[in-house]
Amino acid sequence: MVGAGALAAPWLARESAGAPEAPSRGRVGIASLVAPAGDAALDPAAARRAVEAALVAATGAATGAAAAKRLFKPADTVGIKLSCIAGASLSPHVQLVDALAALVAEAGVPPARIIVFERSGRELKRAGFTIRKEGGPYLCYGIDNDYDAEPSTSGQIGSCFARLVSTTCTALVSFGVVKDHDLAGVSGGMKNWYGVIHNPNKYHDHNCDPYVADVSNHPFLRGKVRLTVLDGVIAQCHGGPGYRPDATFPLGLVAASTDPVAIDAWAWKVIDAERARRGMPTLAAANRAPHFLATAAGYGLGEADVAAIREVRA
C-alpha cells in the first residue's frame, strides 16, 4: 500500500485542512480511506467521513455540509457524472457516491434534483448502482443516447451534448477514479466528460489534446462544473481506462477539488510515483503525458503547474 508518507512528495506543497482558507485554484483536498479486505464493501460511515473530509480540505469550510452549501444552492439541479467504464472493480464506490449525494441534499437540493448518471444505465448497473428515475435519496440513470438534436462547438470539437448537461442540470460534479489512460495519459475528472458527448471516439489523437480541454471549456461544462471528486481507494497506474488488476494499487485516498485541472495534475503525479516504484517509465517517457492539462490551464480552467498545486490533507 502507498501510505501517507509516500505521497508527501517534494513536488507538492502541503497544508493542514485546519489552516486559514486559501484560494481554491490549485488546491486539492485529500482524505484517507483504506480499502477493506477482499471484496467487502466500504463502510458507509467511513465513506461519509472521507468525502466530508476531502470537501473540507478542498474548500476550507468548517464542515462537509458547509462545503456543500458553498458549492450548491437549493434551486440547483445537480448532476454527478460517474466514470464506470471499468466495471465494478474500478468505478466510484457506491458508498462514496451515496455520501456525496447526501451532502448535496443537506445543502438544500431536493433528492429529485440530484441526478447520478453515466453514459448508459447498463454501465451504472455493472458498477453496482440501482437505476432510479423517481424516488430514493437521489435519481440514478444513464444518458442512453438522449443528446441534443444539433451539435455545438468548442475549440476543435463539434458534438451533441447530453441534454442532462446542456439543459437539465444547473450544477455538475465529475466523480472519477485515479487511473491512467492508454492515450490521454490520465483518466480522472476531465476525461470523464467525454461521456457526455455523442462522438468521443473522434477525439483521441495527439493524447486527446486539445480535445479534453475543449470539451471542458464548452459553456455547458465551464459554467456549471462546481466540483471534481476522485475515488483513489484503489487506483491504477497502467492499462486504463479499463480494469487491469495487475496494475491496480491500494492508494487509500479520496480527493476533491474545485479546480478540475489541478486534481488531474495531482492524479498524474500519483500515477507516475507508482509507476516509478514499479520500475516503469513515466507517462511522459511512455509518450502518454496528459498535455491537455496545459491546454486547459491556458483556457483559464485551472492550475496545471505542479509547483503551484497545494495538497491539503484532512
Residue 216 pLDDT exceeds 90 = yes
* Structural element, H or E, at residue 270: helix 260-277
Q: What is the pLDDT of residues 58-115, one digit of tens each?
A: 999 999 999 999 999 999 999 999 999 999 999 999 999 999 999 999 999 999 999 9
Q: Can you give the pLDDT at residue 38?
A: 76
Residue 276 pLDDT exceeds 70 = yes
Domains and CATH numbers, the chain: 4-313 (3.40.50.11440)
User: How far apart, in whole angstroms, are the C-alpha atoms of residue 184 and residue 12?
Assistant: 22
Residue 298 pLDDT exceeds 70 = yes
Q: What is the pLDDT of residues 53-62, one digit of tens each?
A: 999 999 999 9
Place of cell 471549456: 217
Q: What is the DSSP string of 63-88?
A: SHHHHHHHH--TT--EEEEE--TT-G
Banded pLDDT at 145 (limits 50, 70, 90): very high
Q: What is the pLDDT of residues 111-120, one digit of tens each?
A: 999 999 999 9
Banded pLDDT at 23 (limits 50, 70, 90): low
User: And the C-alpha cell for 301?
Assistant: 480552467
Distances (CA, A) of 104 to 48, 167, 203: 12, 20, 32
Contact criterion met (CB below 8 Å) for 67 and 58: yes
Whole-structure pTM value: 0.93
Q: What is the largest CA-CA distance in the chain?
A: 50
Q: CB atoms < 10 A from the CB of 15, how many?
A: 16
User: How far apart, in whole angstroms, are the C-alpha atoms of residue 147 and residue 155?
Assistant: 20
Residue 4 vs residue 141, higher pLDDT? 141
Cα-Cα-Cα-Cα dihedral sign, residues 82, 83, 85, 86: negative
The mean per-residue pLDDT over the stretch 219-226 comes to: 97
Rg (Cα) of the chain, in Å, rounded?
A: 18
Percent of the chain beyond pLDDT 70? 93
